[in-house]
Copies of this chain bind each other. A is one copy, B any other.
Amino acid sequence: MKFTISEENHIKGVYHLQQQTGLVNTNALACEMQTKAASVTDMLKKLKLKKILQYEKYKGFKLTEMGKKIALSIIRKHRLWEYFLTVKLGFDWAKVHAIAEELEHISSEELIQKLDDFLGNPSFDPHGDPIPDSFGKIPTIKQYNLMQLPIKKKAIVSSVSNQSAQMLEMLKHYKIGIGTPIQITKHFLFDGSLEVKILKNTTCILSEQVAKNIFVYYE
């Protein structure tokens, strides 16, 4: 089945909200979509008719299984494009969301499969969010950018977004790799650099430029 861009955006909006709240209500979605409650109601009727939503008037709503599948395929596209934009085109990861918001609506299934392969089937987007596979299956752990890791919190390096030879050389020198325990001991505001403790013994300083390419998870 085909969906309009507006329908796709609404489906994705419901998905994100129901991850947190279970049932979603009209005002919340209106707020998420930067639109008005009346417009949301109209859209809900349409999506219910297309069997994307379980929806009872005044009672809130959530996605059907089919709805979830569609949401995940849009999220998959969004995050793969974000990955492409940062890793291949060198975009700052703050800028990629808005562009991926448009790219996620390109319809070709073959395109997204080939893009996925071209990128090496990445599991996480530049913000550390998991990328669903073509069946909608989501990697479980949640990653955080090292710059966002709370001070003193113990974490594990889970991925590095810049895979250039220079970056890898630098990480090798610091003995940082996938699975390395890491902990921020100090955050210098002057240049954004971090003092980090690695493997519970070595301590070193990472520039913001390096740190923002490193992702970690914890718990």
Please give the residue numbers on chain A whose beta carbons come within 8 Å of chain B beta carbons, in ascending order.
85, 88-91, 95, 98-99, 102-103, 106-108, 110-111, 114-115, 118
Contacts and interface: CB of A to CB of B under 8 A. Distances in A.
A98 B107 CA distance: 10
A85 B106 CA distance: 13
A115 B102 CA distance: 16
Contacts of A90: 114, 118
B115 A89 contact: yes
A108 B99 contact: yes
Contacts of A88: 118
A89 B114 contact: yes
Contacts of A91: 110, 114
Contacts of A111: 85, 89, 99
A103 to B, nearest CB: 6
Max count, chain B CB within 10 A of own CB: residue among A85, A99, A110, A111: A111
Contacts of A110: 91, 95
A183 to B, nearest CB: 35
A107 B118 CA distance: 23
A107 B114 contact: no
A98 B91 CA distance: 26
A90 B117 CA distance: 10
A114 B108 CA distance: 22
B89 A99 contact: no
A102 B106 CA distance: 6
Nearest to A105: B102
Nearest to A115: B89
Contact of A103 (B85, B98, B106, B118): B106
